[in-house]
Amino acid sequence: MSRQQALLFCLLAPFTCAFTQALLHNSEYAALNSSVGGRLFKGTPLVLPCVPSKDIRTGNCTQIQAEYLDEGLRTNTPGAYVVPQWETCQATGAQCLLDYTDPLNLAPLTPPRECLLGSIPPYFIDVQSEEDARVAFEFSKRFQVPLVIKNTGHDYKGRSSAPHSLALWTHNLKNISYDSNFVPEGCSIASAGVTLGAGVQWQDAYAFAESHNITLVGGSDKTVGAAGGWLQGGGHSMLSNTMGLGVDRALQFKVVTPDGQYRVANACQNQDLFFALRGGGGGTFGVVMESTVLASPQVSLQVVMVGFASTTDTALTRQLWSTMTSNALQWAEEGWGGVAVANVAIYINPILDSAGAAKSMSPLIEFGKQLQSGQVEGAQVISTSFESWGTFFDWFAAENVAITGVSLALVSRLIPKASFATPESQAELVEGLLNTTIATPRLIILMTTPASYPGDNTTSVTEAWRSSLYHVTAVSLWNWNATKEDKKEAYANASASIDNLRRITPDAAYQNEADVYEPNHEVSFWGSNYQRLLEIKNKYDPSHLLDCWNCVGWKPSAPQFSCYL
């Protein structure tokens, strides 16, 4: 079969694209490499140097084993993902993983087991300019090779990996600049703004903000990308209650759309694209090269933390969560955001002084003091202040890191204000939360909604963000040796657990942290905005060169989804 015949056959029978791509490995990929300045490289599994049948001296296996659960290693490695099932083909079992409970154990790689590419893209482009993205779109359209966009690999739904695809690795676009009088192109109104290259991570953005005495509203994990999927999917923060979601603060995007055009999208030009990029989801409308976001003056924070040692004492957890839910509406109105689990609650406030914070949080502080007087193991109450978001983040991130190097099914739900309106609805919510933990004990309550920030009705996230107080997540885990049936069961268990909250809330979830198999996902992620987003998708990407799982306009039968269960 000739290359031309294979390309035609790929169009008629998409699952033959793997064979089609194999025929492209010579001259066409050599030409692509030349077109991107020699920055095309092959994707390889993170742990390939540890395969016993290989010469492990060709890679640092010892370092990989030591840092297998480290997000720094994973986010800096093209073929690695924070949640490693997206390195694998879950449908076939093709993978190259270690045992997360004992990375020194090489049994997962020992023959007859093989180290296989799974869903890792076989080729990556180290994107350095808009021309690289334009060339990739031309290549994809000509040869029917799927495209994915990858920065850090923090995607929990596998949208930045796909078998037999070409990956655009934007991780090295690290430019950061601050303009105290930034004017979006074509506009006239100035505001303070920070321009972030697509590869900038929050740890770098926060350090930059500290050095300029400004505040950037961002995520609670240091290695998440600041300008990519986090921002384009909505972007929640512990500051969001009073300062908005990430998309509320986006001033401008520079993006290469699938037609190869390098466009500026803001409130004054390409407004439809600006709307889509402010919540429509990453990897869908184009390759964002850089984003400019609002910079606020530095804010001091009041912080209250209450905790105890046990994560399995249901009575204590019920008391903690009951205290939280019965005061949630008032605390949101008074400016509090934060995060809580079964045995710890951390609240932060950028608008109250220390006296006001103590008065506002007195129910939680009193609960903590009761724990201490009752000599509950590990009981602690902390009331303190931080001079800036950056100093708080350094303290918080030192002890709180996203689960890394472990395959998992993540589910989420937005909890509306109505669930906090009466003692009855509060009790119902607490029971729903407790029941969720039975199947998925790693439940997190995030007080990160823009409950006190109305927005301007120009973003494309679901409207439910504005009418919610909590964003709740839960996970179900599995290891390298899980069977296909085990993985299906983990996804099903996670989904069944969040059903305890689905039953008492409207359809609303955060697309970046949602069930891979979220029911009614168009409404859950985008509410009434979906139809407009679909029209914009068809305008800028009529050939669907960009397609990802549960994304706007996705085509479930596309070959890049063959590894999903």
Mean residue pLDDT across the chain: 95
Lowest mean pLDDT among 2-16, 52-66, 422-436, 518-532: 2-16
Residue 559 has pLDDT above 50, yes or no: yes
pLDDT recorded at residue 7: 42
For residue 113, the Cα-to-chain-centroid distance in whole angstroms is 31
Secondary structure (DSSP) of 250-290: EEEEEEE-TTS-EEEESSSSSHHHHHHHTTS-TTSS-EEEE
Task: Please give the average per-residue pLDDT across 425-441, as a whole number.
Answer: 96
List the one residue out of 237, 261, 256 whose CA is nearest residue 247.
Answer: 237
**What gap in Å lies between CA 165 and CA 139, rounded to an integer?**
11
List the one residue out of 261, 30, 315 whose CA is nearest residue 134.
Answer: 261
Instruction: Give φ, ψ of 334 to 5 degrees.
Output: -90, 5
Task: Please give the average per-residue pLDDT across 1-8, as a whole number.
Answer: 44
**What gap in Å lies between CA 233 and CA 164, rounded to an integer?**
25
Which tens digits make up the pLDDT trace of 191-205?
Answer: 999 999 999 999 999
Residue for token digits 């759309």? 257
Which tens digits make up the pLDDT trace of 434-472?
Answer: 999 998 989 999 999 999 999 999 999 999 999 999 999
pLDDT recorded at residue 11: 36
Residue 66 has pLDDT above 90, yes or no: yes
**Confidence class for position 76, pLDDT limits 50, 70, 90:** very high
**Number of other residues whose CB lies within 10 A of the CB of residue 12:** 7
pLDDT recorded at residue 4: 46
Residue 12 has pLDDT above 80, yes or no: no
Residue 16 has pLDDT above 60, yes or no: no
Omega before residue 112 within 30° of 0, cis: yes
**Confidence class for position 58, pLDDT limits 50, 70, 90:** low
C-alpha distance from residue 502 to each of 408, 416, 518 (Å)? 20, 11, 11
Which tens digits make up the pLDDT trace of 529-542?
Answer: 999 999 999 999 99
C-alpha distance from residue 344 to each of 173, 311, 368, 378, 445 (Å)? 37, 9, 10, 11, 10
Helix then strand count (H, E) for the chain reads 18, 18
Which tens digits make up the pLDDT trace of 238-290?
Answer: 999 999 999 999 999 999 999 999 999 999 999 999 999 999 999 999 999 99
C-alpha distance from residue 232 to each of 454, 511, 555 (Å)? 19, 10, 20
Sketch the domain layout of the chain as residue ranges: 3-169, 176-298+528-561, 301-526
What's the farthest any 2 CA atoms get from each other in the chain? 79
C-alpha distance from residue 397 to each of 265, 351, 401, 402, 556 (Å)? 33, 22, 6, 9, 37
Which tens digits make up the pLDDT trace of 349-375?
Answer: 999 999 999 999 999 999 999 999 999
SS3 474: strand
**What gap in Å lies between CA 370 and CA 358, rounded to an integer?**
16
pLDDT recorded at residue 23: 54
pTM over 0.85: yes
Residue for token digits 């109450």? 381
pLDDT recorded at residue 53: 77
Residue 182 pairs in a beta bridge with: 191
**What gap in Å lies between CA 395 and CA 339, rounded to an integer?**
14
What type of residue sits at position 147? L
The percent of residues in the chain predicted with pLDDT above 70, rounded, is 95
Give every CB contact of residue 126 below 8 A, 6+ residues apart in sequence.
36, 39, 40, 41, 132, 169, 172
**What gap in Å lies between CA 113 and CA 95, rounded to an integer?**
9
pLDDT recorded at residue 26: 76
The percent of residues in the chain predicted with pLDDT above 90, rounded, is 93
Instruction: Kindly report the CATH class assigned to 176-298+528-561.
Output: alpha beta
Task: Please give the average per-residue pLDDT across 393-411, as a whole number.
Answer: 95
Residue for token digits 């001033």? 251
Task: Please give the average per-residue pLDDT across 25-52, as a whole number.
Answer: 94
Q: Do residues 67 and 73 lie in contact, with contact meaning Cβ atoms separated by under 8 Å? A: yes
Task: Please give the average per-residue pLDDT across 331-337, as a whole number.
Answer: 98
Written as six digits, the tokens of 34 are 């030349």
Secondary structure (DSSP) of 346-401: EEEESS--HHHHHHHTHHHHHHHHHHHHTT-TT-EEEEEEESSHHHHHHHHHTT--
**What gap in Å lies between CA 519 and CA 498, rounded to an integer?**
12
**Helix axis angle, 314-333 relative to 423-439, nearest 10°?**
130
Which tens digits make up the pLDDT trace of 120-174?
Answer: 999 999 999 999 999 999 999 999 999 999 999 999 999 999 999 999 999 999 9
List the one residue out of 159, 153, 140, 156 whose CA is nearest residue 45.
Answer: 153
**What gap in Å lies between CA 392 and CA 165, rounded to an integer?**
40
Residue 382 has pLDDT above 50, yes or no: yes
pLDDT recorded at residue 21: 53
Which tens digits make up the pLDDT trace of 496-554?
Answer: 999 999 999 999 999 999 999 999 999 999 999 999 999 999 999 999 999 999 999 99
**Number of other residues whose CB lies within 10 A of the CB of residue 211:** 10
**Helix axis angle, 362-373 relative to 314-333, nearest 10°?**
160
Domain 301-526 listed as CATH 3.40.50.10480: no
